[in-house]
Chain A
Amino acid sequence: MADVIAGHDWRTSPIGPPERWPALLQTLVRIMLTSRFPMWLGWGDELTFFYNEAYARDTLGGKHPWALGRPAAVVWSEIWQDIGPRIDFVLRHGEATWDEALLLFLERSGYREETYHTFSYSPVSDETGAPLAMLCVVSEETDRVIGERRMATLQALASDLSGQRSEAGVFSAVERRLHENRHDLPFTLTYSFSPDGSAELVAATGIAPGHLAAPRVIPGGDGAPWPTGAIAPGRARVIEGLGERFGALPSGAWDEPPSQALVVALAEGGQSEPAGVFIAALNPYRRLDAAYQGFVELVGGQIAAGIAAARVYEAERQRAESLAELDRAKTEFFSNVSHEFRTPLTLIMAPTEDALADERSPLAPDQRRRIEVVQRNARRLRRLVNDMLDFARIEGGRLEAEKVPTDLAHYTRDIALSFAPAIERAGLGFVLDLPPLERAVQVDHDMWEKIVLNLISNAFKYTLEGEITLSLRDAGDLVELSVADTGSGIAADQLPLLFQRFHRSPGRLARSHEGTGIGLALVAELTRLHGGTVEVESTQGAGSRFSVRIPYGSPGAPIAGAPRESARSAYLDEALQWVEDQPTELDESARRALGGARTDATVLVVDDNPDMRSYLRRLLEPFWRVVVAPDGARALEQMRAERPDLVLSDVMMPELDGFELLRAVRADPALATVPVVFLSARAGEEAAVEGLEAGADDYLVKPFSGLELLARVRANLDLAALRNQDASWRAALVESLQDAVIVLDGKGTVVEANAAFEQVLGFSRAEVPYAPPYPWLPDAERDPNERHQVEAALAQVLATGELRGVLPLRHRLGHGLLVEVFAKAFVERDDRRIVVAFRDITAELEASAREAALAELGIRLAEASDVHGVQTAALDALGRVFRATGAAIVSFSPSGPAVMAASGALDTARLDAGALEALGTARVSRRPVARSLAGETGEERELCEGIAGVVDSGGAPHGVWLAFSPPRRLRPDERALFGVLCGYLGQTWRRAQLFDDNRAVATAMQRSILGPTDVPEGLAVRYLPAVQPLEVGGDWYDVLELSKERLAIVVGDCTGRGLDAATTMGQLRSACRALLLQDKGPAETLAALDSFADLIPGARCTTVFCGVIDPIAGTLAYSSAGHLPAVLSGENEAVLLDRARALPLGIAPGRARPEAEVDLVAGSNLVLFTDGLIERRDEPITVGLERARRAVAEHRRLAPPDLANALIDELVAGRQEDDVALVVHRLAARGAPALEVDLAADPGGLAGLRDELRAWLGALGADDRVAAELLIAAGEAVANAMEHAYDFATAERVRVRGRIEDDVAHLLVEDHGTWREPRPSSADRGRGLAIMEALADQVTVRHGPRGTVVEMSRRLRA
């Protein structure tokens, strides 16, 4: 360097040649040159550039030696913007600067270079402090900085990648970390090769995927835009000219985009095929040197390693997954094997066993042999399956020894003995040396059994003669079981292999060469599970000895004994068949051993497999009654209909499976105690425990031995029977009761009911439970009181638990009944229950009601005297006795039964066809006929709508009909009673009929001797006999029309009263009549009667008053035979007609009698009477007479009828003691003619009628006004008749009659038509009537079927 300085041409430099340099400068240069540290010096204003070798080498680079002597600003022009200010600062302030690792882009190598320098600028000044020069000491840090940077990236990347388990993780780690160093890696691309040779972009930093330079996929081989395919592992490839290739590119951490990239293959050491490529864009400010390339390659290598590791991990994971999958498949297979194999196995073995055991139709020898083959092989198969399953479980670690403390000697003996039959049959000796051990051994029973049986079986197989010895020894902490035989022994080289799975020693002499070779391996495994060991000693040809040693074990947690499949029978059976036996004999003896089983039990078999069902049925049928169901749902139905004693059910079934069935059974209080035994193909204690915990009573695994099944069924039945003894006793007791018995729970729900319940109420037991409100309560709407009564009783019984009383209930068919109820509470299994017994006492109550009604019927019928009374009493009482809603008595007319009397509902309703038919039938059959409902059920048909009976009253029969609504049952005794009552009714009727007949006769007879009631105009008669019910007495009256308009009136009084007097009277009256008709006068008549009276007993002393009225002459001639005088009223007074009195009849016959005559004035009242009218006990007759006379006088204006009533009212006044006869006569005014007009129904005739009426009224002396008004009234009536009755049919006639009576004109308008319905203009008709009523004093209109009569009257003078 010194040489360079010396050799430099300093003449052009401002500092001149070195000779003239200031001493300071020279010193500085000297210092600088001697330092090994890179330095430069800037002297003078221009900062003339001096430097040392180190600087030239490290920092200047290509600028040496050009830079010497130049101004510093020129030398470092590219960085002058950075260092210039610093230098300035130094020179100005005289302070040094310090910069560490400052990034400076030096162009010393022909390109802008990223460099890092640590430097210090220090000022050099003279004494005055004025700056003279600047000294720079600098050391380059570039390599360090960059190196550190790259290292950081590598380290971070390495650490991130190490944790990645997946390629995706690798790539994201790559992206994360490489992104942090966009100085060295402005952008990177990582491509992963796909199987098809294309490359997929999996990681990109510093550039967006999809950029031209960063395609997502680079198709294989092509190499565009990156030559992915052509990279060999370990060789990187430089790609130049990125700008031309891709245009604009991201520049990472710089401001200039990279122009170079390096492509590295991603391949881990050893891999020939790269997994992908790593493309790194390069720092434009660094040359790609070995370090840089090495860095990129390292990055690539890490990525490759990461990818490889991830892939390995992935592969590992998948392997693990497929292993697990395999495991799962295996497990599933094994559990399915259990089910799938076992069920068919059962169904193969069972029928074969049955076939072999069948005694009724035994197999032919050929068939037997074949079936035996089948059986043998089925057994073999079963054993194989079981062993394999055991093994699978052991392997899977699922088999655990469930150790229970066991008396091992006893147990082992048990097991051994089960094998004994075969050994015996084979003629081998069997020695059991099993002394009791001092303590219990913890063993799994099942496993121990298998161990023992396997060893014995093995010994048996290979021992053809001699003996097998079983011994058990205590060996300190262990128990030793040894099985020794005198068999063919085992070769020494086979001994180690003996316990291997599937190993079978070849060439051994044996009974059979069957076997899978699992047996001993199983023994070894099972022993191992007990923590024990098994060993074998053997001498070929002499025998073998197997020893099993297991620890006593310590008591662990008690485990619930789960029934496992007993293997004994399988082993035994197999062994037996090696000895050519008849397995069926054993079954038979075993079956005989089962003798004594309950045969009256019912077993319900539930299984969806029909073969299984029929097998089970055949198995169980000889002992018990078997019913079957194909699934749980149907099983439940059947159980509810008929409770079985035991349910044998498969577990896996469609619809309702075994568990659900069990749940339902246990939930139903009526079925909860039925024992349920599960049959399942699911073996293992889990399944069994599950079953038992769900409440099953037992659990059997398929395939099972038939014997075992039978034994278990029997055991469970016995157990259940024991449990249910009380319950069944109670049930039997309850069922036997005639009373209905139900049990209520705490809420009142009926949970049990006996058979009598159905009979009493008609509701089915099968529909229990019944929750309140019960269907047999009275209807709340129809019978609210009864309903309330029953509900109150229910509340009481639920509250207090006791009840006694009578309640009304309803039968299912609707009719009511009365029950006597007793209730009592009790506690059953912590539940409060109430037992209610009730009895139907309706019949009793009805019976007593009926008897009362019958008694009443009897009384009332006895009281009834006439037929009507009988009918009324009968309807009433019969209705009540039979609780009929309606009753009717009918007569049988040609057109059918006609109602004569009815009561109740039939009072207003008519008899329906059913009733009529029944009555008709009864009439013919002469017996009661009940009309039943045409119902569908027998119960319904028992209900009767009614009953018809015949009443024979002697004449034509009559019918009785009783209706029942709603229909009810008629018991036979009721029907019989009805028949009897009809007969009784008939007799009563007959009696009443006779009475009626007699009375009619009497009445008719009496009437015949009574005087006439139809008397002529102007007369009124009254007759009141004294003796009821007689209508006649000793008094009589008579009215007789004689010739020439004369009238005879007579009153008479025979002595005595009653019938005798009446008969006398009748004769006298007739005689009197006859005499009067001969025109004899009163006196002559009476005289003639004297003689007659003499003849008739009891006729003497009869008094008679006889008079003859001559209306023309206006006189009355009279004579009295001892009778009271008549009274005659005049204008103002009344007089007694007491002349012409003589003796009563028959006293002095032959003597002449007097006669008197008196004038009668028109309008005067003549009154004849007998003493009954006036006589009173406590007064003389004259007083009465006077009273009568005064009464007649007072009422002289009254017309005869009114007068007669008035006299009776006043004079008798209800105090009648004697017969009363009364005749009133009023003389009509003569000369007053009556009017009679008969005109055709033609309005034209109205005027004529008016003329006649006018004339008539005028002749009578009527007022003009009155006449005119009466004319209008009458005309109205006639016009009406013409119009409404005849509708102007001129052939018809209207009759008008008029008469005068005491100044009152009476008009009668008569027609014979039919008045039609009121015309629409009823206002008019109303007017007509109003007019008539207004113009006449009295108007009466009488419509009849044969015509109408209008009567009106009007006083002629106001």
Chain B
Amino acid sequence: MTTNLELARSDDEAPQLVVSGEIDLSNIGAFRSALSEGGDSPLVVDLTGVTYLDSAGIAALFERARRSDLEVVLGPGSVLAPLIEITHLADVATVRTR
């Protein structure tokens, strides 16, 4: 059973990637290609709907952050918060909690 992953783009101001569902090794590829679209322009990644993310997903975010400005949006009390904190993603990207 594959994980659900919804990628939505909106192009006003900064492109935005809205992700929901669970991201694990089974669908990490899709996540990564979604991140790589949009070239080197700044990107906002909305993870409020994500309920599972492992180190591979974090690695993909780090990679994207190297190419251009990255903003990561979390939901309040997101289970991903300790993950983001432990891996110091805030050092290379802007992390916002809605």
Contact = CB atoms under 8 A, between A and B. Distances in A.
Nearest to A1273: B54
B32 to A, nearest CB: 13
B86 A1331 contact: yes
A1250 B52 contact: yes
Interface residues of B, number: 22
Contact of B86 (A1271, A1279, A1325, A1330): A1330
B1 to A, nearest CB: 5
A1283 B26 CA distance: 11
Contact of A1247 (B2, B54, B85, B87): B2
A1339 to B, nearest CB: 13
Interface string B69-80: 000000000010
Given A1244-B2, A1244-B26, A1324 B59 contact: yes
B55 interface: yes
A1272 B83 contact: yes
B55 A1246 contact: no
A589 to B, nearest CB: 125
Contact of B53 (A1243, A1272, A1283, A1323): A1272
Contacts of B82: 1269, 1334-1335
A1330 B88 CA distance: 11
Residue with the greatest number of chain B CB neighbours at <10 A, chosen from A1282, A1283, A1330: A1330
A169 interface: no
Given A1250-B22, A1275-B24, A1331 B54 contact: yes
A128 interface: no
B51 interface: yes
Interface string A318-360: 0000000000000000000000000000000000000000000
Contact of A1334 (B1, B25, B86): B86
A1324 B55 contact: yes
Q: How large is the interface on A (under 10, 10 to 19, 20 to 34, 35 or more residues)?
A: 20 to 34
A914 interface: no
A1244 B1 contact: yes
A1275 B28 CA distance: 14
A1247 B59 contact: no
Contacts of B25: 1243, 1246, 1279, 1282-1283
Contacts of B54: 1272, 1275-1276, 1279, 1328, 1331
Contacts, number: 72
Contact of A1327 (B2, B24, B52, B59): B59
Nearest to A1250: B52
Contact of A1271 (B1, B52, B56): B52
A1246 B55 CA distance: 14
A1243 B79 contact: no
Nearest to A1249: B24
A1279 B83 contact: no
A820 B1 CA distance: 95
Contacts of B24: 1243, 1246-1247, 1250, 1275, 1279
B26 A1268 contact: no
B52 A1331 contact: no
B26 A1330 contact: no
B90 interface: no
Interface string B38-75: 00000000000001111110110010000000000000
Interface string A1269-1294: 10110011001001100000000000
Given A1328-B55, A1334-B82, A1246 B26 contact: yes
A299 B55 CA distance: 142
A1268 B81 CA distance: 12
Contact of A1268 (B55, B58, B79, B85): B79
B3 interface: yes
Contact of B83 (A1244, A1246, A1265, A1331): A1331
B55 A1327 contact: yes
Contacts of A1268: 51-52, 79
Contacts of B83: 1272, 1331, 1334-1335
B53 to A, nearest CB: 7
A1321 B87 CA distance: 14
A225 interface: no
A403 B54 CA distance: 133
Interface of A: 1243-1244, 1246-1248, 1250, 1265, 1268-1269, 1271-1272, 1275-1276, 1279, 1282-1283, 1321, 1323-1325, 1327-1328, 1330-1331, 1334-1335
Which 8 A-B pairs have CB atoms at the shortest separation, nearest pair first? A1243-B25, A1243-B26, A1328-B55, A1268-B79, A1334-B86, A1246-B24, A1327-B55, A1324-B59
26 contacts: A1243-B25, A1243-B26, A1244-B26, A1246-B25, A1250-B24, A1265-B79, A1268-B79, A1269-B82, A1272-B53, A1272-B83, A1275-B24, A1275-B54, A1276-B55, A1279-B24, A1279-B56, A1324-B56, A1324-B59, A1327-B55, A1327-B59, A1327-B86, A1327-B87, A1331-B54, A1331-B83, A1331-B87, A1334-B85, A1335-B82
Given A1279-B25, A1331-B58, 4 more contacts: A1247-B2, A1279-B24, A1330-B87, A1334-B83
